[in-house]
């Protein structure tokens, strides 16, 4: 790992100033993705700006029909949060099953979302739960946020401050984990709203995506059986050492049905 | 005090490990130490057209850069193979050179190309990335199928036939063919025993230190057998005379076979320490371990079982292809031959057996012994075949096993594949295991699972293995290039406590406790009064180390013999002091007593007299009380038993969950049941890992696809239930302890039981076969194909 | 070079470190507390788990500078006044360790579990240990040790 300058601001403004004009700056949240990547020399920042000292980024609150989770809330905090469990229990459950206990103790929602791993769990929740990614200067709809494999709509020096989830009538997330890495091979988040159902899939493709066929079927009938006739096209999915596209397509459907069944 | 054999004595070694005071190789640092980083080949097969180290040599902190050419110029020998296998025609196997750094051609991803020595680990690694190697790609042989294909590219240009290392056989062909000719039924099976990566949690490490003022060389290394490493460095790779070479294997974090072998880095750090005049340390990163630690298994087999009209086995024919990798690791050649072919009779009476094994080279990491080594492969083949035979013949699989199992009155039992089993009651093990799992009520459990939408299955295996390696003369006759006895020394200190030195090595097995119990029991002293030393060639007599479940049956027997010498000498000392004849002095409960009198001496008193010999038979007896013994086993030991597994499969996802594991093992006389159970638990986890999770996969270019814990599935706590460990013990008849060994039984018996259970669960859906590992996707595919059919 | 101040096993530490220094390297190389181990390079094996600010973390995936101002406990700090921590005792009594290499991480991780959930059931213990790979024990006696410790701590409370 190459060396870098380390900064630890205590406010959002100072964090933004800290990256300004730097060669290759990076924000450091929980580091559970970034540090492993740096150890492999796949990221070589000139400056690392830790957000651990910015207290306002850790806030979790309900705001009308919105659940706000600060970017620096750890997975463990989200999993144990009464506010989250009350507002959108699927998010608490999902956060409680990310990685392992030690990853959950450090890893944050903002870090996970910014890293945009195609097999991470949060992207599915963001897209299904119609979330808005709030940055220090704008709001980005979750669907527009995840652009490519490990790519997001974030601009240079742009800081995620919070994620705003729209409370659904009910929702759930089910995943089939890689037995080795514990990342999702197929993770499906379903969310029912007054104006329809949203289904987002992670782990199976090169980035999180919605499934129109499932959404249509479930919007008419929010029941696992509604998915019986829906096809999941393996052609759009990934084949790798862990699973074939065909198997992933099958799992997406199984996980979707289970998510519908367990939704609350 | 005294009788502690068989007691659940808590481990003496635990405190240091539990408080962070263990001392593993990477925990050690020598004054003025430098660091090594090995540049590995990124290609599976390529010619090294050129190698430019100039930039690396100029880099910050770099002390030296050594290449294959330097290695050749230094006149070092290659890493040797310790077991010579002969082909069917009597000619020797093909033994390619195995230099610690290659000069002209790389043959697997991870092959050692150069080593950089620098002030820090980071500097060494950074400089290694500056070495410019011009590789000219060669066609790759990624697996067995590719290796034996017509016109396959050659891993070694001079192999006489294709990529063949050897073509070996055992048993008799004609009688076996005759048995098949008269058989009522012939059941056949094709199997893959997939490649595994041992993954001891401590990555390999080594520190070399050369002292020019004394010409002494010291190597700290993560080894299961420091004496063997000294022998191989002394006699083969570096020709450093043993009296100038000390090997220390301190606390070692697991081995499972992978730390038996002599590895290149051991040569490199010793060599480099001489070149740079400083101690040199190397520690593997896990990703290096994946591509450089010897792998395990990797067989493809076809087998046929001939059965008569009464369901009795008549004969077994086996043809196996075994992958050696690119080079022959230290014991690689013995694994698919004498540790495999000789076990093909299993626990059964099979009058005629013939097995052929072709070993081939491929552009992959070397394959060698991994927990069980050959015996899991034999057991998997036979027990899959027996269960398949039961299914095809419509006989209950328990009944078929009962009909063919060797009965207690048939021992000693000579198999058609060289071994003579001394003792065993395998059918009793079957009874115990079936009882523990409540076999009688399985169908009820299957029905209950079905009501939850789950497919439940039960599977079993009976196994026997050959441990306690090995009678030296026999081993020599079949190609071993070393003896396989063990040594032990008991040093009774003046006040009666004892220091024990063993040539075996403990890397998790708890020898410091088990051997202390053994010696304490024999000498009638408290366990606390015995300290066991191992792992340093400067303070233990020559010994062959720990593998093949040999430490207790061979190393323990050596200590027992040394203890007998101590007692014999003690009786002479006591006889002198107590003014009795030696014949009248007996040693009972830690006391030397004159028969028929109340005259006696405590063990400690005799010890004291030996060191303060004021009243002592100095003319006929030397002072001191220290004895050594070497023990060469008379036969292998034959642990055996029965493993039964229940699984539940989710047909929607294909996920198999192991819900019950009940075993009954016969490991011979047990010294510490807690430690034995722990060994069995660990073996079971590795065996279940093989059956369901683990698979070292290469792509067509010879790149390891499962080269980290992101892709190679290591078993986790949630993959297992609690194990029901039972036993039915018979005592080994030919060693003084009656112990057989317990380190490998779990890994040997359980894989076929798991797969038989998976097939049993899927059978109602029409599935009759599945390969290891039975991953969710494989199960899902098998169900789909059965549905189509 | 940044200067960091932290508490390690109840002792104050002030030290200059390179920003890129991993917490595990600070612990092993600088503080010579070699009970914390490195068993992989992909943040999965859990041999390096230590407590930071009362939470178990993988010290291979955290920078030393991130631990600035925090309380760090390694395996060497578990025993107090020569008395083993109840978990250490339970691991000893249940043969919850063999080669000992993964043990420090497992013990620290388990102590975090018992703090968060003093009465875990078998399944919760197994699931919690997701981040700790042990190759020796088959986890059987590790789970038993954690169960016993939980029972005893409850009894004592």
Contacts with C45 from chain B: Cβ below 8 Å: 201, 286, 709, 714
**Could you tell me if the ipTM is greater than 0.90?**
yes
Tens digits of per-residue pLDDT, B738-772? 999 999 999 999 999 999 999 999 999 999 999 99
What does the alpha-carbon distance between residue B783 and residue B246 come to, in Å, rounded to a whole number? 57
Res. C157 pLDDT band, cuts 50 70 90: very low
CA distance A232 to chain C (A): 31
Q: Is residue A8 part of a domain?
A: yes
Contacts with B709 from chain A: Cβ below 8 Å: 180-181
Yes or no, beta carbons of B508 and C35 under 8 Å apart: no
Q: Is residue A106 part of a domain?
A: no
Query: What is the reported pLDDT for A82?
Result: 97
Single residue among A50, A66, A83 that ends a domain in this structure: A50
Yes or no, beta carbons of B709 and A179 under 8 Å apart: no
Q: Which residues of A touch B (CB under 8 A)?
A: 1, 176, 178-181, 241-244, 247, 250-251, 254
Phi and psi, residue A158, nearest 5°? -90, 135
Res. C156 pLDDT band, cuts 50 70 90: low
Q: How many CB atoms lie within 10 A of CB A64?
A: 6
| Average pLDDT along chain B, 789 residues, taken 10 residues at a time | 88 98 98 98 98 98 98 97 97 98 98 98 97 98 98 97 98 98 98 98 98 98 97 96 97 98 98 98 98 98 98 98 98 98 98 98 98 97 98 97 98 97 98 97 98 98 95 92 94 97 96 98 97 95 91 96 98 97 96 97 97 96 97 97 98 98 98 98 98 98 98 98 97 97 96 98 97 98 95
Yes or no, beta carbons of C34 and B682 under 8 Å apart: no
Q: How many domains would you assign to chain A?
A: 2
Tens digits of per-residue pLDDT, C95-111? 999 999 999 999 999 99
User: What DSSP character marks residue B373?
Assistant: T
Q: Is residue A144 part of a domain?
A: no
* Residue of C41, C58, C69, C146 to mutate, interface with A, max A Cβ within 10 Å: C58
Q: Is residue A111 part of a domain?
A: no
Nearest CA among B328, B286, B373 for reference residue B107: B328
The 3-class SS string of A48-110 reads EEECCCCHHHHCEEEECCEEEEECCCEHHHHHHCHHHHHHCHHHHHHHCCCCCHHHHHHCEHH
Q: Is residue A185 part of a domain?
A: yes
CA distance A141 to chain B (A): 31
Contacts with C23 from chain A: Cβ below 8 Å: none
Query: What is the reported pLDDT for B541?
Result: 83
Query: What is the reported pLDDT for B2?
Result: 63
Single residue among A30, A50, A70 that ends a domain in this structure: A50
Matching residue, tokens 């075993």: B663
Yes or no, beta carbons of C140 and B16 under 8 Å apart: no
User: What DSSP character marks residue B348?
Assistant: B
Query: What is the reported pLDDT for B182?
Result: 97
Q: Is residue A61 part of a domain?
A: no
Q: State the average pLDDT over residues A60-75.
A: 97
Q: Where are the alpha helices (DSSP H) in B30-172?
A: 54-58, 68-73, 121-128, 144-148
Local structure of B99: helix, strand or coil: coil
Yes or no, beta carbons of C140 and B20 under 8 Å apart: no
Query: What is the reported pLDDT for B789?
Result: 86
Residue A18: CATH number of its domain: 3.30.43.10
CA distance C36 to chain A (A): 15
Yes or no, beta carbons of A48 and C19 under 8 Å apart: yes
Residue A175 belongs to what domain range?
170-262
Ordered by where they begin, the domains of chain B are: 15-138+202-253+259-292 (3.90.1170.50), 296-469+635-788 (3.30.365.10), 485-631 (3.30.365.10)
Q: Is residue A85 part of a domain?
A: no
Ordered by where they begin, the domains of chain C are: 3-77 (3.10.20.30), 86-156 (1.10.150.120)
User: What DSSP character marks residue B367?
Assistant: B
Q: Are C131 and C144 in contact (CB under 8 A)?
A: no
pTM, 2 dp: 0.98
What does the alpha-carbon distance between residue B508 and residue A66 come to, in Å, rounded to a whole number? 54
Res. C154 pLDDT band, cuts 50 70 90: confident
Q: Are B120 and B35 in contact (CB under 8 A)?
A: yes
């Amino acid at each position: 790992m190459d060396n870098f300058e380390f900064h630890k601001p205590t406010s959002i403004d100072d964090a933004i100033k800290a990256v300004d004009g730097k060669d290759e700056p990076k924000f450091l949240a929980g580091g559970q993705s970034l540090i492993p990547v740096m150890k492999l020399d796949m990221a070589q920042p000139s400056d690392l700006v830790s957000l651990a000292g910015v207290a306002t980024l850790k806030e979790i609150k309900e705001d009308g029909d919105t659940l706000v989770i600060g970017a620096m809330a750890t997975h463990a905090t989200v999993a144990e949060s009464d506010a989250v469990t009350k507002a959108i229990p699927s998010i608490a459950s999902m956060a409680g099953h990310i990685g392992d206990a030690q990853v959950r103790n450090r890893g944050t929602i903002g870090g996970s979302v910014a890293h945009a791993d195609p097999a991470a769990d949060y992207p599915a929740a963001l897209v299904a739960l119609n979330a808005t990614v709030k940055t220090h200067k704008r709001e980005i709809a979750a669907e527009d946020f995840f652009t490519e494999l490990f790519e997001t709509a974030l601009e240079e020096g742009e800081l995620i401050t919070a994620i705003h989830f729209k409370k659904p009538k009910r929702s759930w997330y089910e995943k089939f984990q890689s037995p080795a890495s514990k990342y999702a091979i197929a993770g499906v988040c379903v969310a029912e709203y007054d104006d329809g159902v949203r289904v987002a899939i992670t782990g199976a493709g090169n980035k999180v995506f919605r499934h129109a066929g499932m959404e249509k079927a479930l919007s008419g009938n929010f029941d696992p059986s509604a998915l019986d006739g829906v096809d999941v096209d393996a052609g759009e999915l990934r084949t790798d050492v862990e699973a074939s596209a065909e198997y992933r397509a099958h799992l997406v459907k199984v996980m979707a049905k289970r998510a519908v069944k367990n939704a609350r | 005090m005294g009788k502690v054999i068989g007691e659940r004595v808590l481990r003496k070694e635990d405190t240091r490990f539990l408080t962070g005071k263990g001392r593993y190789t990477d925990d050690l640092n020598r004054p003025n130490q430098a660091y090594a980083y090995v540049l590995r080949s990124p290609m599976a097969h390529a010619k090294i057209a050129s190698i430019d180290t100039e930039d690396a040599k100029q880099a910050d902190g770099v002390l030296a850069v050594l290449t294959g050419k330097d290695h050749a110029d230094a006149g070092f020998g290659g890493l040797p193979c310790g077991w010579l296998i002969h082909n069917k025609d009597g000619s020797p196997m093909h033994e390619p050179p195995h230099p610690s750094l290659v000069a002209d051609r790389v043959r697997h991803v991870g092959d050692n190309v150069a080593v950089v020595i620098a002030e820090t680990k980071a500097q060494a690694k950074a400089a290694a990335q500056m070495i410019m190697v011009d590789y000219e790609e060669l066609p790759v042989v990624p697996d067995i199928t590719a290796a034996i294909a017509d016109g396959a590219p050659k891993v070694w240009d001079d192999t006489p036939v294709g990529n063949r290392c050897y073509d070996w056989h055992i048993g008799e062909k004609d009688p076996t063919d005759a048995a098949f000719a008269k058989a009522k039924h012939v059941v056949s099976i094709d199997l893959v025993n997939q490649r595994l990566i041992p993954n001891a949690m401590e990555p390999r490490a080594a520190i070399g230190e050369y002292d020019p003022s004394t010409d002494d060389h010291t190597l700290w290394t993560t080894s299961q057998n420091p004496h063997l490493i000294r022998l191989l460095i002394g006699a083969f790779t570096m020709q450093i005379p043993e009296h100038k070479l000390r090997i220390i294997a301190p606390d070692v974090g697991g081995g499972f076979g992978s730390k038996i072998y002599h590895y290149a880095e051991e040569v490199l750090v010793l060599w480099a320490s001489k070149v740079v005049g400083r101690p040199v340390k190397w520690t593997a990163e896990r990703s290096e371990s994946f591509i450089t630690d010897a792998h395990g298994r990797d067989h493809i087999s076809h087998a046929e079982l001939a059965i008569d009209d009464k369901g009795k086995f008549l004969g077994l024919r086996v043809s196996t292809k075994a992958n050696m990798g690119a080079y022959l690791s230290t014991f690689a050649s013995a694994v698919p031959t004498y540790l495999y072919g000789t076990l093909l009779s299993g626990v059964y009476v099979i009058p005629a057996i013939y097995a052929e094994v072709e070993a081939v080279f491929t552009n992959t990491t070397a394959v060698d012994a991994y927990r069980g080594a050959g015996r899991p492969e034999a057991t998997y083949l036979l027990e899959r075949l027996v269960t398949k035979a039961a299914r095809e013949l419509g006989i209950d699989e328990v009944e078929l096993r009962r009909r063919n199992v060797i009965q207690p009155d048939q021992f000693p039992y000579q198999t058609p594949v060289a071994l003579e089993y001394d003792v065993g009651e395998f059918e009793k093990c079957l009874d115990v295991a079936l009882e523990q799992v409540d076999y009688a009520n399985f169908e009820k459990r299957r029905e209950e699972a079905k009501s939850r939408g789950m497919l439940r299955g039960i599977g079993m295996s009976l196994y026997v293995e050959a441990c306690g390696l090995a009678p030296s003369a026999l081993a020599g006759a079949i190609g071993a290039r070393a003896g396989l006895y063990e040594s032990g020394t008991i040093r009774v200190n003046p006040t009666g406590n004892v220091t024990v030195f063993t040539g075996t090595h403990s890397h998790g097995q708890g020898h410091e406790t088990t051997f202390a119990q053994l010696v304490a029991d024999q000498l009638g002293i408290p366990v606390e009064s015995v300290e066991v030393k191992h792992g340093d060639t400067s303070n233990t007599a020559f010994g062959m180390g720990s593998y093949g479940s040999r430490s207790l049956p061979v190393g323990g027997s050596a200590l027992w013999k040394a203890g007998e010498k101590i007692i014999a000498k003690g009786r002479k000392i006591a006889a002198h002091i107590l003014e009795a004849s030696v014949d009248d002095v007996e040693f009972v409960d830690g006391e030397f007593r004159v028969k028929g009198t109340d005259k006696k001496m405590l063990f400690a008193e005799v010890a004291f007299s030996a060191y303060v010999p004021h009243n002592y038979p100095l003319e006929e007896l030397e002072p001191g009380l220290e004895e050594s013994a070497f023990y060469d086993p008379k036969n292998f030991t034959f642990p055996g038993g029965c493993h039964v597994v229940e699984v539940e499969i989710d047909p929607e996802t294909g996920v198999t969950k192991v819900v019950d594991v009940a075993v009954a093992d016969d490991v011979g006389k047990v010294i510490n049941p807690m430690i034995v159970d722990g060994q069995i638990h660990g073996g079971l986890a590795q065996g279940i890992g093989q059956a369901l999770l683990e698979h070292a996969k290469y792509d067509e270019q010879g790149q390891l696809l499962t080269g980290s814990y992101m892709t190679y599935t290591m078993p986790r706590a949630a993959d297992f239930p609690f194990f029901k460990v039972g036993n039915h013990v018979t005592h080994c008849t030919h060693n003084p302890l009656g112990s057989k060994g317990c380190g490998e039984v779990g890994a040997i018996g359980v894989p076929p039981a798991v797969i038989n259970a998976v097939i049993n669960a899927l059978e109602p859906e029409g599935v009759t076969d599945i390969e290891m590992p039975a991953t969710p996707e494989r199960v899902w595919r098998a169900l789909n194909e059965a549905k189509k059919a | 070079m940044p200067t960091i101040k932290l508490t390690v096993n109840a002792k104050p530490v002030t030290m200059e470190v390179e920003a890129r220094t991993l917490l595990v390297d600070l612990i092993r190389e600088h503080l010579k507390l070699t009970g914390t181990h490195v068993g992989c390079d992909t943040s999965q094996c859990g041999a390096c788990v230590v407590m930071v600010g009362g939470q178990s973390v993988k010290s291979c995936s955290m920078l030393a500078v991130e631990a600035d101002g925090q309380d760090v406990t390694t395996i060497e700090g578990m025993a107090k006044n020569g008395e083993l921590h109840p978990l250490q005792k339970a691991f000893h009594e249940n043969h919850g360790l063999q080669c000992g290499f993964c043990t420090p991480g497992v013990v620290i991780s388990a102590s975090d579990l018992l703090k968060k959930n003093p009465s875990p059931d078998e399944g919760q213990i197994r699931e919690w240990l997701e981040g700790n790979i042990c190759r020796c024990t088959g986890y059987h006696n590790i789970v038993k040790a954690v169960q016993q410790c939980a029972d005893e701590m409850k009894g004592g409370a």
